[in-house]
Every structure is written in structure tokens, then in C-alpha cells.
A and B are shown apart, each in its own frame.
Chain A
Amino acid sequence: MTTTLLERRPATRSAAAPGALAEPIRNIWSMTRRNLVHISREPMQLSDVTIQPVLFTVLFIYIFGGGIPIPNGSYKDFVLAGLLALNLVTSTMGTAVGLSTDLHEGMIDRFRALPMWRASVLVGRSLADLMTSCLCALIVALTGLAVGWRPGANVLSVVAGFAVVLLFAYSLSWIAACVGLNSRSPESAASFGFIVLFPLAFVSNAMVPTQHMPGWLQAVADWNPVSAVTAGARHLFGNPNPSAAIQAWPMQHPVVASLLWSVVILAVAAPLASHFFKQRTTE
């Protein structure tokens, strides 16, 4: 019997192909492409990384710009790193919604019955979302440049600034994945954005310097990872960074602090997401 079975598999590679890693990578790439095709089919899904950043950038700069004094600089130069953080943090909601949708469609059963590396469902999703995050970052930067934002550091340093924020957004997308895997519906996964991500992004130094906040709120904001990430980006962009005057450790070492946050979140959330995925797809 076994021989007939093997004979009937001309199109498929044998179980232990050389390079055991090649297969998962191929799987991840297939899944990433699938998710990118989804985006191209429903471009409005992209509005939170295309239209929203333009809107936020213009609104914040022109509405709040005049009212918030920034020591040693302009609000434009101050707020851009914050807008970058705000847009990237809130767009991780897409990961939660996307995964939740995947689990609610029959497609997940098809994936589970295929001889594929199952975690590629998660990794492929997070990579596709990272790519849309990059697009989002680009749009924020271009809008910023158009309305007068000017970085004061060399190109390498500016790129490093973007990388710091993108890495943090990527780590957050794994928390979003955990939420998506535990939500009953895509709609309830979306509420994660409003309940968790918006407060996270706003109770920080992203939009305004924390010095003017009430004492307890300032303490929360100064230890908020979003503040570290924003301050780190400001530092690397060579833009005004009032937080440098704050004694809290993350404000004194914003780049190190934000990298630490990202690594710790990834180290906890990625295995957790994988666990939830197994749990959710076991019956």
C-alpha cells in the first residue's frame, strides 16, 4: 500500500526536504502575499494607514500647533515623531481584526488540514501588517515634509528613528494578535483599538510635552512605552525633545528603553499568540 501511496505524490516534495527551514519561510511568504492581496482588494482597509496619517498630521499641526509652545523648536518638528507613533500604534488594531476574521472564515480549516507550518498564519499576518506600517510611516514622513517638518540629524539617524517606532509597532501587533485570537468576532477585536490603543497613544508625550500633565498622569505617561518610543525617535530625528529634561529612566535613555520594551513585548506576546492560536484551533 505504501508504495502506491508514494507513487501518487509526484507533485509534492517529500516530507524531509533538504533545508528544514525553507518550508516555513515559503509558507510565511505565501501567507504574507495572501494578506497583501486582501489589502489590494479592499483598499479602504488601508485608510487607517493612508488617509488617517495625512489627516492627523495636518489636523494636529494646524489646530494644536499654535497653542502648544515647544521649548527650543516648533510644534511641527516636535509632533512628527508623536504622529508616527500614534498612527503606527493605532493601526496594529488591523492585526487583531484580520486574525479574528481569519478564524471566523472556513479558510482556517483548510489551512489546518494542509501540511504547512501553522504558525505561518500568524507570522504572515504580522509581516503583511509590518509592510502596511512601513507604508504608513512613509506617508507620515511625506506629509510632515510637505507641511514643514525638518529632521535635524543625518539620514542614517533618521532611518534609525523610523526603525525604532516600526519595531515597537511590530511588537504591539503581537499583542493585537493575542487579542484577535481571543475575541469572539472581528467587531469585538476592533474595539480593542479604541479601548486600549488610543489611550495608550494619547497618555504619552506623543502629542504634548508631559510636563503640563497632573503629577500622577505625568508619571504614567513618562513610563508609557509609547513615550519612550516617541522620545527615542525625536532624539534620533534631531527634533526638539522636551522629555530629555525629565528624570524618569526611560526619558533619560529613550532609545534603549524603547528597544527593551519592543524585545520584551515580542518575547512574551509572540509565544503567547502561538499558544492562543493552538488553543483556538483545537477541538
Chain B
Amino acid sequence: MGNDLVIEAEGLIKRYGETQALAGVDFSVPAGTILGLLGPNGAGKTTAVRILTTLARPDGGSATVAGIDVLRHPAEVRRHIGVAAQDATLDPLLTGRQNLVLVGELSGMPGRTPRGRATELLAQFELTEAADRVVKGYSGGMRRRLDLAASMMTRPPVLFLDEPTTGLDPTSRQRVWDAIRELLDEGVTVLLTTQYLEEADALANRIVVVDHGRVIADGTPRELKEASRSARLEVTLAVGDPGAVAAIETLVSGRVHVSEDGRHLSAGVDSVPGLATTVVRALDSAGVLVDNVEVRQPSLDDVFFSLTGGHLPDDDATGEPDPAAERWQELEGARP
């Protein structure tokens, strides 16, 4: 276990009445990186964040943030974290500036430093113009940005951002993304939860996929995609040729689809290095003229759906979620 893990969660269990929100979740975030906690609604992402930010106590397991035990020294943990919760936690009756100053003062920032810092953040999040307006009149995007600014008031070394872009328009989302990327440059460690694969892909160094309170996959965005069986092989022939299917059948993981004119073949494949070369050679030795061969890497959406048990549009995808998840665990075990 490295010393540079800023967030560590081990075997977190949390139950709300009948609902098992977390059923033993482990993950860790190395210093200066962004971990994306990815999962559908109700997967347990927010519960994990609430435990790590000292808002909820787990029924089992342990966690440290900035090297401090969350359960034993919650007050000390609060000195090192910034939180932007899913429901914007702002005072609707205060202005944007007053909200930030209040957070700064309550965090123990001395004298007039909260005012200076607030002005700085309002500018960074393009809220200067709205700074002295009451938050009740802010748009959703403005509230999100202000919430994010509030979480950064004390320049905390660890940030928890719970679905920071949910419900935002593309422009606002882009702004929030930029702000998060800037944090990385400053060396901040971030735990980000999101329902958007695109977001996790764009921002996170590592992704932990949770579903029904369990971790079902863990890796870099690239590793996740590569581990998926859902890569697709697309072959375009110069002329339709019945021999083509037989030539590539052994190389793919499912049935080969042939288009009506016989020129377009497609099939699910395991994503292995040099696959396109192998396919071209096989077709060439069968005397088939090839115009184009393409191996389309899976999108994170494909990965996500296969991991959470959703079905991919084509029938060659694994119906059960387990094989992919198992492969993930194998990969996990193989890593140092």
C-alpha cells in the first residue's frame, strides 16, 4: 500500500432501512489524480461520497482521506476536503459572494481572506457579474459553478464532486470540465462521481464502475475499453464473396453479419493487437478482395452496458455481465 493514496475506502457497507446502498466497496485514489466513480442512479456513488466527506457513517468498512481516519477523526478530515454535493448546497437567500464568504469564514479563513478568495473564484467561474445577486435567481449552471467555487474556497487538497455536471447544458458542462482540469494542474486529488461515461472518460485517470452498491470494474478508461468484448470488426469487400464469412469466422467471437449486397461484414471481436492484419491476411489467402477493414474500439457506453448487465444492440455481445467483470478482476489481480 503506497503512502501516496489520498483517498482509501475499504469494504464500505451502508444500509438505509431496507436498501443496501453499499455492499462492500473498495477503491483508492492516488495523490494528484482524478478518480471517476461511475454508475447509474442508485448505484451507491453518493453514499460513498457522503461517507468519505463525514456526512454519513458506514455500517461496515473503513476509510481514510488525506491519511486521516474518516470515522475516528471526522473533524480533522473536514479541514482537508472540499465538497460539491449533488443537490447544490447553497443558501438561496444570500448572494453568490455572500455564500462563498460564509463558507470561507466557517472554514476558519482569517480576516478578509474569504473576500479576496471569493472574488478570485467568482472570476474564475465567470460569475463576477452575478456575484451580488441572490442565488435564488441563478440558473442551474450558475448554481453548479458557484457550488464548485464554494468547494474550492480553502484550496483544499482533496475534492469530492458529486455529479458536478448533471443537468447542465453542454457549454456549462465544458466550463466545469475546464475548472476540474485546472485543479489537476494544481495537484489536487479529486473523487468525481458521474453517470456520464463521456465525462469519466474525459476527466478521470481511473474509473471505478459501481452498480447495486458493488464495484464491478476498476481501471483506466483505456483499460476498461480494451477489456470489453464489445469491439466491432467492420469489413468492406470490393465484391461480395460467400467465402469471406468462412475465412473470418474463426477470428471473431460471434456470428458474422452480412449486408444485403454481400459487401459489408461485421462481427463482435475480442480486442487483440494486430487484429486487422490477421483479418486481412485471412481474407487474402481465401482470395477475397478487401476494400476496408476497421476495428472499432468500444465506447465507454458499450463497456458500461456490458458491465451493468445491459444488452448491447448486437447479438454477439455477452448476455451476462459476469465474463467482462471477471476479466476485470483478473486484470486487477495482475496489477501491482
Contacts of B92 in A (CB 8 A): 105
Per CB-CB distance, the 6 closest pairs between chain A and chain B, nearest first, are A110-B89, A106-B89, A116-B106, A115-B78, A106-B87, A8-B157
Contacts of A109 in B (CB 8 A): 55, 83, 85, 87, 89
Contacts A1-B3, A9-B155 known; A114 to B107 CB distance under 8 Å? yes
The chain B residue with its CB closest to the CB of A12 is B154
Contacts of B16 in A (CB 8 A): 283
Residue interface mask B107-125, A partner, CB < 8 A = 1: 1111001000100000000
Contact among B56, B106, B110, B113 for A114, CB-based, below 8 A: B106
The chain A residue with its CB closest to the CB of B75 is A115
Whether A283 pairs with B56 at a CB distance below 8 angstroms is yes
Contact among B53, B98, B109, B187 for A13, CB-based, below 8 A: B109
Whether A115 pairs with B157 at a CB distance below 8 angstroms is no
| B52 smallest CB distance to A (angstroms) | 10
Whether A8 pairs with B106 at a CB distance below 8 angstroms is no
Q: Give chain B interface residues in 86-107, CB to chain A under 8 Å.
A: 87-94, 98, 102-107
The interface of chain B, by Cβ under 8 A from chain A, is: 3-4, 6, 16, 31, 50, 53-57, 66-67, 75-76, 78-81, 83, 85, 87-94, 98, 102-110, 113, 117, 134, 150, 153-157, 186-188
From B75, B88, B94, B105, residue with most partner A Cβ within 10 Å: B105
Whether A9 pairs with B154 at a CB distance below 8 angstroms is yes
Q: Give chain A interface residues in 242-283, CB to chain B under 8 Å.
A: 282-283
Name which of A33-41, A81-89, A181-189, A212-220 contacts chain B.
A33-41
Whether B107 pairs with A41 at a CB distance below 8 angstroms is no
Contact among A2, A11, A112 for B155, CB-based, below 8 A: A11
Contacts of B156 in A (CB 8 A): 8-9
Contacts of A23 in B (CB 8 A): 108
Q: Does A63 contact B (CB under 8 A)?
A: no
| A56 smallest CB distance to B (angstroms) | 28
Q: Does A67 contact B (CB under 8 A)?
A: no
Whether A283 pairs with B94 at a CB distance below 8 angstroms is no
Known: A8-B187, A34-B91. 5 other contacts (CB 8 A): A9-B155, A11-B109, A11-B155, A12-B79, A41-B134
Residue interface mask A65-107, B partner, CB < 8 A = 1: 0000000000000000000000000000000000000000111
Contacts of B117 in A (CB 8 A): 11
Q: Does A4 contact B (CB under 8 A)?
A: yes
Residue interface mask A1-37, B partner, CB < 8 A = 1: 1101100111111010100000100110011001001
Contacts A2-B67, A5-B157 known; A107 to B91 CB distance under 8 Å? yes
Whether A107 pairs with B89 at a CB distance below 8 angstroms is yes
Whether B81 pairs with A113 at a CB distance below 8 angstroms is yes
From A1, A27, A111, residue with most partner B Cβ within 10 Å: A1
Contact among A17, A110, A120 for B83, CB-based, below 8 A: A110
Contacts of B157 in A (CB 8 A): 4-5, 8-9
Contact among A37, A41, A113 for B55, CB-based, below 8 A: A113
CA distance A34 to B99 in the complex (A): 9
CA distance A192 to B104 in the complex (A): 35
Q: Please, could you name 15 A-B residue pairs with CB atoms under 8 Å apart, sorted by A?
A: A4-B31, A8-B156, A8-B188, A9-B80, A11-B113, A12-B155, A15-B76, A27-B105, A34-B94, A106-B87, A106-B88, A109-B55, A109-B85, A112-B54, A283-B50
From B6, B16, B108, B154, residue with most partner A Cβ within 10 Å: B108
| B168 smallest CB distance to A (angstroms) | 17
Whether A113 pairs with B83 at a CB distance below 8 angstroms is yes
CA distance A34 to B103 in the complex (A): 11
Contacts A4-B157, A115-B79, A283-B56 known; A37 to B105 CB distance under 8 Å? no
Residue interface mask A45-63, B partner, CB < 8 A = 1: 0000000000000000000
Q: Give chain A interface residues in 159-215, CB to chain B under 8 Å.
A: none
Whether A5 pairs with B103 at a CB distance below 8 angstroms is no
Contacts A1-B31, A8-B155 known; A37 to B94 CB distance under 8 Å? yes
Contacts of A42 in B (CB 8 A): 93
| B221 smallest CB distance to A (angstroms) | 25
From A27, A31, A115, residue with most partner B Cβ within 10 Å: A115
Contacts of A107 in B (CB 8 A): 89-91
| B293 smallest CB distance to A (angstroms) | 48
| B32 smallest CB distance to A (angstroms) | 8
Contacts A12-B108, A34-B102, A283-B56 known; A110 to B85 CB distance under 8 Å? yes
Contact among B3, B85, B94 for A106, CB-based, below 8 A: B85
Contacts of B91 in A (CB 8 A): 34, 105, 107
| A280 smallest CB distance to B (angstroms) | 13
The chain A residue with its CB closest to the CB of B116 is A11
The chain A residue with its CB closest to the CB of B160 is A113
Whether B102 pairs with A283 at a CB distance below 8 angstroms is no
| B57 smallest CB distance to A (angstroms) | 7
Contacts of A282 in B (CB 8 A): 57
Contacts of B53 in A (CB 8 A): 113
The chain A residue with its CB closest to the CB of B117 is A11
Contacts of A26 in B (CB 8 A): 105, 108
Contacts A11-B155, A13-B110, A41-B134 known; A112 to B93 CB distance under 8 Å? no
The chain A residue with its CB closest to the CB of B6 is A1
| A107 smallest CB distance to B (angstroms) | 5
